Amino acid sequence: MIRAYTITSGKGGVGKTTLTVNLGVSLALLGRKTVILDADIGMANMALILGMDDIPVTLHEVLAGKGDIEDAIYDGPGGVKVVPSGISLQGFQQADPDKLRDVMHKLVDKCEYLLIDAPSGISKEGVVPLSVADEVILVVNPELASMADALKTKILCEVMGGRVYGAILNRAGLEHTEIRSQSVEDVLGVRVIDVVPEDANVRRAAAYKSPCVLKYPQTDASRVFKRIAAQISGIEYRDTGSEQKTESFVDRLARSVFR
Ligand SMILES: Nc1ncnc2c1ncn2[C@@H]1O[C@H](COP(=O)(O)OP(=O)(O)OP(=O)(O)O)[C@@H](O)[C@H]1O
Ligand SMILES: [Mg+2]
């Protein structure tokens, strides 16, 4: 049975697309049939980030009733399937976000996991993915504005009948703030699924138009992306990298107390 996750935030630029792509590829590498869908139909950039040029049919055409979803599913890196959105303003204007529900119904028998990259803000095209997914993942950065906006999105999600799976604290360490998992859990009232560190290799990989988990599989952020994917798919995470750190009981205890 398919599980659909909407990856959303509230505030823009916090790492939704980065997470969608890297989690999607990580799930695919675990052998899970996974589709990542760019529902940020106004400011789409998943295709750009993945270096997927020259795409004849995108989600824009499908939502405009001019194309079929089967023709908008493309092979992405690491075995993940990608439904990109177009980048033209005209395409955005013609796309009907309400059709996203039909799109999802048609994707049901095509994959085990569907990850939906939602737009930031609380526009109509942002609201639909909150209600259609099984679970919603809130992405936050360690800064107050990001947490405040995520809280609004969480409330909106609940009003829409959506269910929040948890939050991911991304770019931890970036702002030199003291905001940690516990503060995120206190403010948002949801559990923190995991903490992705600020990692320059994430941006470096993006510059190569390659997912970080493929370009730099052993970098700190990639190992967390893979850990989250394992958690989502119910697999025990094994860190097999050369930089593997064996965590002692005392380390684990300290991590759970201080994070
Ligand atoms: N853990 C990280 N470490 C370092 N840089 C990161 C990390 N996560 C994301 N970034 C960088 O932050 C920027 C924004 O990321 P991304 O585009 O994924 O955010 P977004 O939430 O999808 O933005 P938008 O709201 O505009 O769609 C990108 O340059 C990305 O490479
Ligand atoms: Mg994005």
Ligand lying closest to the C-alpha of residue 206: 1
The burial of 135, by beta-carbon neighbours within 10 Å (0-12 exposed, 13-18 middle, 19 or more buried), is given as middle
Domain that includes residue 42, residue range = 3-258
User: Which residue is closest in CA terms to ligand 1's atom 14?
Assistant: 13
Contacts of 213 (CB under 8 A, 6+ apart): 22, 25, 26, 29, 78, 222, 225, 226
Ligand lying closest to the C-alpha of residue 11: 1
Predicted pLDDT at 140: 96
Q: How many domains does the chain have?
A: 1
Predicted pLDDT at 177: 61
**What's the rounded Cα separation, in Å, for the pair 16 and 10?**
10
Q: Given the CA of residue 45, which atom of ligand 1 is nearest to it?
A: 27
| Residuewise pLDDT in 10s, the chain (259 residues) | 789 999 999 899 999 999 999 999 999 999 999 999 999 888 888 998 898 878 999 999 999 999 999 999 999 999 999 999 988 888 888 989 889 888 988 888 889 999 999 998 777 778 888 888 899 999 999 999 999 999 999 999 999 888 999 999 999 986 666 678 888 999 999 999 999 999 999 999 999 999 999 999 999 999 999 999 999 999 888 877 644 444 555 556 665 665 5
Predicted pLDDT at 231: 95
250: CA distance to ligand 2 center in Å? 38
Pocket test for ligand 1, best of 202, 208, 226 (most atoms within 8 A of CB): 202
Alpha helices in the chain (DSSP H): 16-29, 46-49, 59-63, 89-94, 100-107, 124-132, 144-159, 181-188, 200-207, 212-215, 220-232, 249-258
Pocket test for ligand 1, best of 6, 16, 18 (most atoms within 8 A of CB): 18
168: CA distance to ligand 2 center in Å? 15
Query: Within 6 Å (CB) of ligand 1, which residues are found?
Result: 9, 12-18, 40, 43, 120, 170-171, 196, 198-199, 202-203, 206, 221
Q: Are 47 and 55 in contact (CB under 8 A)?
A: yes
Q: Given the CA of residue 9, which atom of ligand 1 is nearest to it?
A: 21
User: Which residue is closest in CA terms to ligand 1's atom 10?
Assistant: 15
Predicted pLDDT at 245: 46
The CATH number assigned to the domain holding 140 equals: 3.40.50.300
Predicted pLDDT at 64: 93
Q: Given the CA of residue 197, which atom of ligand 1 is nearest to it?
A: 1
Predicted pLDDT at 176: 60
